[in-house]
C-alpha cells in the first residue's frame, strides 16, 4: 500500500463536488468501478429520489460477521469561505494536502480504497465490510436506508470503525443531537399601533431566553459526563430570522435550536419542556390574535455514541495503533445509529483533525494518512490467516463463535 496511491485516490475523491445539496452518484460510480477492477462486488442502497446512494461491499467470506469500515461521502459547502486554493483540486504544500473533504472525511475513504488490493490478496478469515454513506453532514440522514437494509441481511458486521478525523486516536463516545426549527406566527400592524399586533420577534426572543436559561441550568446542575471536555448537555439558538421593516410589527419569525445531550440526559424530554413553554406563550399570543401560533419543524436528530472503554473492540483497535489515548469527541457521527439500531459495537477513528474540517483551506497531513495506512495494514493482518477466526471469537469480538 503506497502513499502515492492514497494521494492519487484522494485527488480523485476531492475532485467530486459532493456537497450535501448535490448528488453523490458520480462519486459512488467511481468507487463501484474501482472496487470492480479489484474483483469486489458492491451494492447501492439509494434514497427515495434515486439521486443519492449509500454503497456497501464485503471483502472476504460473506457468511460470517466481520469488521466494517464506514465513512460518509458528502461534504459541507465552500460557499462564503475564503479559500487560497481550489477546494475541488487537491493541492499539496509540504506535509499538507488541501481540498474540501481531505480531513472530513475523504482522506479516510482514500486510505481504505488504497487498502482494497491488500484486502483482496489477503487470506481473510474474518471479512472486511465497506460502508459509504450520503448526507451525514445534514444530520446523519442518508445512512438510515443502509441501516434498514442491513437489518434484513442474514449476516451483519460484528464491529464498526467510523473514520471521522480524530488524529488516529479512537473515540468511544460523542453526544446525541436534536435540531428543530420553531416557526412563530404573530400579527402584523403599523408599529405606531404596536399593542394591536403580536410581535413574532418578541415571542421568538422569549423562546431564545428559555433556551439560554435552560442551557445555564444544565451547566450548573447537569447531569454530567466527565468523559467530555464540556461534560453536560448544551442548548443553543443557531439562527433567527424575522421581520420586514422597522415600522411594521413583525408577523413572522423563525429560530433554529439544537440540543446536544450526554447519554444520561433525555433530549426528547427537554424538547417536550421547550414545547410546553411554547404552548403557554402561544396561548398568550392568541389572546390578541387567534391566528397567532408556534409551529415545530424537526430538522434532524441522531443518538449519541457511548462505548465502554473496557470493551473488547477498544482493546482490539488500540492493539493496532501506535497510541493508547482514547478520545471523546464533540461532534456527531453515524456511530450511535449503528450502535443503537443494529447493536453493532462502534468506535470512531480516522486521519486528520476536525479542527481543519469545515474550514477554508481544509487539509490533512501526509503523516496522518501514513498512520491510517499502517493501521489498516495491521487490521488486515489481524483478520487474516487460519487462526484469526478462533482468536477473535475467543476474544468475543465476533457476534457469534465461529471457531
Of the candidates 253, 239, 381, the one whose C-alpha atom is nearest the C-alpha of residue 316 is 381
| Half-sphere exposure at residue 128, Cβ-oriented, CA atoms within 13 angstroms | 27
DSSP per position, 141-162: -THHHHHHHHHTSSS--SEEEE
The backbone torsions φ and ψ at residue 272, rounded to the nearest 5 degrees and listed phi first, read -60, -40
Gap between the Cα atoms of 299 and 363, Å rounded? 29
Cβ neighbours of residue 347 under 8 Å, at least 6 residues apart?
159, 160, 161, 162, 170, 171, 172, 307, 313, 314, 317, 335
CA pseudo-torsion sign 374, 380, 386, 391: positive
Question: Going edge to edge, which strands form the sheet with 176-185?
Answer: 234-242, 252-261, 176-185, 293-302
Q: Is 8 a catalytic residue?
A: no
* 123 catalytic per annotation: no
Q: Which residues is 183 bridged to in the sheet?
A: 254, 295
Cell digits of residue 330: 464533540
- Cβ–Cβ contacts within 10 Å for residue 394, how many? 12
Catalytic hit among 32, 104, 135, 136: 136
Parallel/antiparallel/unpaired status of strands 67-72 and 128-133: parallel
Cell numbers for 268, please give them: 426528547
Residue matched to cell numbers 499538507: 96
Of the residues 32, 74, 164, 258, only one is catalytic, namely 74
Q: How far apart are CA 177 and CA 186, in angstroms?
A: 29
Q: Which residues pair with 300 in a beta bridge?
A: 179
Query: CA 120 to CA 138: how far, in whole Å?
Result: 33
Query: Which segments of 38-184 does DSSP mark as H helices, in order?
Result: 107-121, 143-151
Write out the DSSP string of 17-36. Answer: --BTTS--HHHHHHHHHHHH
Active site residues: 74, 136
Amino acid at each position: 500500500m503506497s502513499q502515492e496511491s492514497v494521494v492519487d485516490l484522494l485527488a480523485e475523491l476531492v475532485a467530486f463536488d459532493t456537497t450535501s445539496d448535490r448528488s453523490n452518484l458520480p462519486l459512488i460510480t467511481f468507487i463501484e468501478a474501482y472496487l470492480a477492477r479489484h474483483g469486489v462486488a458492491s451494492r447501492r442502497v439509494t434514497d427515495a429520489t434515486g439521486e443519492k446512494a449509500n454503497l456497501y461491499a464485503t471483502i472476504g467470506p460473506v457468511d460470517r460477521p466481520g469488521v466494517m469500515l464506514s465513512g460518509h461521502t458528502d461534504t459541507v459547502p465552500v460557499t462564503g469561505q475564503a479559500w487560497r486554493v481550489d477546494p475541488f483540486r487537491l493541492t499539496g504544500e509540504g506535509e499538507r494536502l488541501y481540498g474540501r473533504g481531505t480531513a472530513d472525511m475523504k482522506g479516510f475513504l482514500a486510505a481504505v480504497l488504497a487498502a482494497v488490493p491488500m484486502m483482496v490478496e489477503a487470506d481473510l478469515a474474518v471479512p472486511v465490510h465497506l460502508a459509504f454513506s450520503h448526507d451525514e453532514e445534514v444530520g446523519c440522514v442518508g445512512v438510515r436506508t443502509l441501516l434498514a437494509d442491513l437489518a434484513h441481511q442474514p449476516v451483519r458486521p460484528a464491529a464498526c470503525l467510523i473514520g471521522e478525523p480524530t488524529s488516529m486516536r479512537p473515540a468511544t463516545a460523542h453526544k446525541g443531537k436534536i435540531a428543530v426549527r420553531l416557526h412563530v406566527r404573530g400579527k402584523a400592524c403599523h408599529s405606531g399601533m404596536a399593542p394591536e399586533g403580536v410581535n413574532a420577534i418578541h415571542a421568538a426572543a422569549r423562546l431564545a431566553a428559555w433556551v439560554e436559561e435552560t442551557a445555564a441550568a444544565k451547566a450548573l446542575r447537569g447531569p454530567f459526563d466527565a468523559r467530555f471536555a464540556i461534560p453536560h448537555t448544551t442548548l443553543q439558538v443557531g439562527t433567527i430570522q424575522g421581520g420586514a421593516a422597522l415600522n411594521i410589527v413583525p408577523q413572522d419569525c423563525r429560530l433554529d435550536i439544537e440540543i446536544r445531550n450526554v447519554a444520561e440526559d433525555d433530549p426528547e424530554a427537554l424538547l417536550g419542556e421547550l414545547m410546553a413553554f411554547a404552548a403557554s406563550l402561544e396561548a398568550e399570543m392568541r389572546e390578541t390574535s387567534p391566528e397567532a401560533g408556534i409551529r415545530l419543524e424537526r430538522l434532524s436528530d441522531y443518538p449519541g455514541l457511548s462505548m465502554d472503554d473496557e470493551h473488547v473492540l477498544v482493546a482490539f483497535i488500540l492493539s493496532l495503533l501506535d497510541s493508547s489515548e482514547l478520545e471523546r469527541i464533540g461532534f456527531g457521527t453515524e456511530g450511535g445509529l449503528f450502535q443503537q439500531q443494529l447493536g453493532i459495537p462502534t468506535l470512531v477513528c480516522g486521519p486528520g483533525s476536525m479542527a481543519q474540517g469545515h474550514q477554508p483551506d481544509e487539509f490533512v497531513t501526509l503523516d496522518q494518512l501514513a498512520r491510517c495506512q499502517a493501521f489498516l495494514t495491521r487490521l488486515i493482518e489481524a483478520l487474516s490467516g487460519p487462526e484469526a477466526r478462533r482468536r477473535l471469537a475467543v476474544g468475543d469480538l465476533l457476534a457469534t463463535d465461529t471457531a
